[in-house]
Amino acid sequence: MKLIRCADIAESPWINGGGSVKVIASGVMGKDGAVNCGADNYWAWRLSIADVGQPGDFSRLPGVKRILTVVKGGPLRLTINGKPRLASALQPLAFDGSAPTTAALPRGPVKNLNLMCRTGHVGGSVSIIPLREHLLLPHQAAVLLEGEARADDQDLLGLDAVFGSKTEPTLIRGQGTLALIGLYRAVSR
């Protein structure tokens, strides 16, 4: 099990000054299908928490699929490729990272969980589930959004992330809400 404490992650401001980001982890998929967190500059997937403090344009990311989930505040009103979309709290929204995207904050600042996957390399999913007991597999990660939980013998705090292990499954128990992230190798066509 790999545990990443949100409180220990350095925060970086966005270039446009409209918010900040904490990169939880990034990496590639192993040949065995397990999630490998890496320190390389290249990533096939990236998981982060972003604080959006003011309206503005998203950075365009060609070749990247984004899944955005508002985890605090909201909603976030997006215009993606000229079409309005509403990102409500705890409702994952997938979209093309290359699409021109603008955000409005009708009720003030929000905090987002973001999964980004490079098209053709890695696919991903985000599910919001009630937590009681969940067995985390090697291709999965989980982020505690609300409540109290333990992963194996470690207490989890809000927005802490746990990554599944390829050697033994990780058991998460508690009461609250969990973001379950699934990653898988892209299938070649």
Residue 5 domain flag: no
Start-to-end CA distance of the chain, whole Å, equals 33
Mean per-residue pLDDT, 54-75: 94
Domain that holds residue 167: 122-185
Q: What is the pLDDT of residue 24?
A: 95
Share above pLDDT 90 across residues of the chain, in percent, rounded to a whole number: 75
Q: What is the pLDDT of residue 185?
A: 85
Q: What is the pLDDT of residue 17?
A: 72
Q: How many domains does the chain have?
A: 2
Residue 91 or 40, more confident: 91
State which of 92, 118, 144 marks the end of a domain.
118
* pTM summary value: 0.91
Same domain, 126 and 114: no
Same domain, 67 and 144: no
Same domain, 114 and 134: no
- pLDDT over threshold 80, residue 37: no
b (16+ CB within 10 A) / e for 89-118: beebbebbbebebebebeeeebbbbbbbbb
Give 79-132 pLDDT, tens digit per residue: 999 999 999 999 999 999 999 999 999 999 999 999 999 998 899 999 999 999
**Residues near 69 by beta carbon (within 8 Å), at least 6 away in sequence:** 87, 90, 91, 92, 93, 112, 113, 114, 126, 128, 179
d(CA 23, CA 43): 12
Same domain, 170 and 94: no
User: Which residues share a beta bridge with 93?
Assistant: 68
